[in-house]
Structure 1
């Protein structure tokens, strides 16, 4: 039991994350660890705040393309930013998961990943300051690839630590609160970008160094988490463990369906650059891009905590509702633009806001579903299998979007919206894992 209020529980952050009832059972974690839940909840949220803010400051869809242009890097290099950023963090997770399993304290893996990302950002700042052109672009891509691998390590460890330290029916709230706070802080960053105009080179270097500092602050928070040693059996090497872990898809039908649903709902992320292309086509101007960054931060701040609360009731329904919003938005935008409707300056900022609200729901829903579906020490394997397969499918989806993009950006939006609809329909067959004690 952990209903008793401590003196530490009077802060505003504790108020945000306190359970709805005073007498709650620590579901899915040992009862003798309940006294550590309050502190763990606070440090996890602060670490997630730092993580999300650092990633926003070096976003592969906004900040890094601007940096590449400022350095005079070729356009074909810029096209590799998002695939390397996303796939690089997912593809190796099936193999990294085997090594994480060997660690009784999984937070050590997260700290290694966070430290590597901070170091890469410092090297990126040095690279941008010294070199330019294709050489700077290639070096930055290599560092981004290393950052993505490190991000995958953090992803595996973070979900396992969340499951070990926070009870079921509270994990979604922790995830959503951290994301919402990061969105709020990100609003300030978006405002700075919107008024910066043509950012000088030293401005990009300062952003990279500031993001590295934020990662260090996140590491300081993560070290304060009280994690109990977990099981280390199953920590075998690489390929053998990878092939064995794939059996989870056949052994657990709910996990297999979840992977299919997640594959289809990742369209809510892949479609974002094409809304940006449409905005450039209809509006243009860097200030429009700044407005979109603000819209993303505002949406994350306004919705992630709300989605987290709903995910603790039913993460399945959260994925369905969020996916439905994204799909209807895409179809509505396509129909409106095809009919030649007027496109005022704030139109696409509003579109990005709604899409970001929906994508935040998909992310919080799928993370909470996966953590609650895989109880105990199975989480590392479930997360590793899920993310590795998503990395492969992300590359295929990227190739599909490139082919559709040869037709038009509207074609990509339309197809991805239809795929999202299919994902919403298939999610109906998922169990409500929050009802399982």
Structure 2
């Protein structure tokens, strides 16, 4: 549905602070580049991001789902595929999905489809948890997780484009960071609930899945209310052919290609977390352990994401570097303590480690999202996001396979290698341009 152009009363007072150059672009309706500032859009975007981040925290493939698969008696090899499928499944098809999303004048429709599919999969997961056990339950849950990952990819493409169309540069990091922070704060309550239990029955896991589905539904209501002006569209070209043609972006844009390399190296902050969780499970398999890990993850997200977001609006590159360096230093310290010195973890050791690692991962995530949205402009944004995430999906499978081989040696070896890769990413990120500084210079 094509929206009418908003009248002046819809715009916030922030419009008055725009430079003459930005104001001219807005008055011409160039929402794809400048970001239309419409009253209420920021609040709705933040609420939708709170819903999506909270639902993901409640059904995390790094913490919650491994406990669920163990409860239904799934084989260990199925549990090992949770994170690779969760992450790569949402990235691989984006180069094709992006071509079809670009046909939509309003990209929020794609986000709502992705959110609805994820909610439906969570309802089916609840059913599987109640009626099936063993390897069959594990396979069904893994398949549903795969469908959720594909749907998550659709949301990822649309969310960055809607953010770029509705929020100006140097404001987007605040929106992304605020949504993640509030989700982490609410997630603390979820973690406290888990930490108060000795164990949980299968119907309890089913209730968690249903609650997460409801949260996705609330997010859909928020996204539906966003006022998004109709943008430019690409019509008529086959999605697959357009997807292959978009690969040339990596060759034509040196900064984009370098960003892909940096992002690949910084995958370590995400992939390494399950190995910290496995170390924690070796010391204590009770529900309290899971609860405290979720609390640590949520608390870190709550207190850090809005800070990272504000910092990213000044320099997203620096945010990626500082956050990745924190994760790498942590990994090196854990390897030295538990491996080299054969130390013993103290009470609360792993929740503290997960807290610090989650601080770092939140920074890397906010930084790379803000950097990519600001690096691309206009209708190119969907292409950049789709190409970036699809290549990340392929590389993620390769890095995931490497981690599984390293895990045959020990979990600590995986942590050490990923820490070294993270530091390499910090060094390479120094060669990226500061796109936020360029924005200031262009507006003068």
TM-score relative to the length of structure 1: 0.93
After TM superposition, the structure 1 stretch with the greater mean CA deviation from structure 2, 28-37 or 353-362, is: 28-37
- Alignment-derived partner of residue 433 in structure 2: 431
Asked if the contact 1:27/1:167 (under 8 Å) is kept, the reply is no
1:96 counterpart = 2:97:
yes
After TM superposition, the structure 1 stretch with the greater mean CA deviation from structure 2, 414-423 or 232-241, is: 232-241
Asked if the contact 1:36/1:226 (under 8 Å) is kept, the reply is no
Alignment of 1:19-418 (within 5 A): 23-25=17-19, 27=22, 30-31=26-27, 36-233=37-234, 236-282=237-283, 285-337=286-338, 338-418=340-420
Report the Cα offset of residue 235 of structure 1.
Answer: 6.2
How many residues are paired up? 424
Report the Cα offset of residue 233 of structure 1.
Answer: 2.1
Report the Cα offset of residue 283 of structure 1.
Answer: 5.1
1:176-209 residue CA offsets vs partner (Å, 9 max, x unmatched)? 0000000000000011111122111111111111
Query: Which structure 2 segments of 5+ residues have no match?
Result: 1-7, 440-444
Query: Which structure 1 segments of 5+ residues have no match?
Result: 10-17
After TM superposition, the structure 1 stretch with the greater mean CA deviation from structure 2, 162-171 or 65-74, is: 65-74
Q: How far apart, CA to CA, are the structure 1 residues paired with 2:335 and 2:99?
A: 44
- Alignment-derived partner of residue 12 in structure 1: none
Report the Cα offset of residue 141 of structure 1.
Answer: 1.5
TM-score relative to the length of structure 2: 0.91
Q: How far apart, CA to CA, are the structure 1 residues paired with 2:387 and 2:216?
A: 26
Report the Cα offset of residue 27 of structure 1.
Answer: 4.9
Give the aligned CA root-mean-square deviation in angstroms. Answer: 2.1
Report the Cα offset of residue 71 of structure 1.
Answer: 1.5
- Alignment-derived partner of residue 442 in structure 2: none
Give 3-state SS (helix, strand or coil) of 1:315's partner. helix
Q: How far apart, CA to CA, are the structure 2 residues paired with 1:194 and 1:175?
A: 28
Q: How far apart, CA to CA, are the structure 1 residues paired with 2:265 and 2:293?
A: 24
1:240-281 residue CA offsets vs partner (Å, 9 max, x unmatched)? 112211100111111000000000001000111111122233
Q: How far apart, CA to CA, are the structure 1 residues paired with 2:74 and 2:151?
A: 25
Q: How far apart, CA to CA, are the structure 1 residues paired with 2:232 and 2:406?
A: 46
Runs of 4+ in 1 over 6 A off after TM superposition: 5-9
Q: How far apart, CA to CA, are the structure 1 residues paired with 2:36 and 2:320?
A: 32
Report the Cα offset of residue 420 of structure 1.
Answer: 0.3
1:78-119 residue CA offsets vs partner (Å, 9 max, x unmatched)? 222111111110000000001001111111000111111111
Report the Cα offset of residue 282 of structure 1.
Answer: 4.4
Asked if the contact 1:120/1:144 (under 8 Å) is kept, the reply is yes
Report the Cα offset of residue 435 of structure 1.
Answer: 2.1
